[in-house]
Structure 1
Amino acid sequence: MKDWAAPLIAAALFAFLSPGLLFQMPGKHRPFEFMNMKTTAASIFVHSIIYGLFLTLFFVVLSVHLYV
């Protein structure tokens, strides 16, 4: 693998967009909670949609991908 940008971006986004780590949307008691380290099924779904949108933004729109 010649270009490490794609796996590093994907891993960083996965880590930072884990529900409850930096933020949780929707939260258990409020629509947006910060660093509560808890999760719900709805927040997992919302964070996975956000993760997919950011991956699409970086890899397709900004052309950060593997050059093989």
Structure 2
Amino acid sequence: MADWAPILIGVILFIILSPGLIFQIPGNSRHVEFGSFMTNGKAVFIHTIIFFGVFTILILAVGVHIYAG
């Protein structure tokens, strides 16, 4: 049986943390922008760090496992 947790959590976090889709830190004109559909290099870097941190906590520290089949 394969562990699907890293794949599903990675996809969900990627969608939620895509800069400019739901929110963006830092924004182009403000510190936080919601639904702007635009991005910049700083926001990509910050969202990457947030993604890595949350993903690592969920997979390694909490130990989330999803088995199918």
Fold match, TM over 0.5? yes
Q: Deviations over 1:18-57 (max 9, x none)?
A: 0001100000110000010000000000000000001111
- How many residues align? The count is 67
Equivalent runs, 1:11-30 vs 2, <5 Å? 11-30=11-30
**Which residue matches 2:60?**
60
TM-score by length of 2: 0.87
* Separation in structure 2 between the aligned mates of residue 27 and residue 46 of structure 1, nearest angstrom: 11
**TM-score of the two chains, using structure 1 as the length reference:** 0.89
Structure 1 unaligned spans of 5+: none
| Unpaired segments ≥5 residues, structure 2 | none
SS at match of 1:47: helix
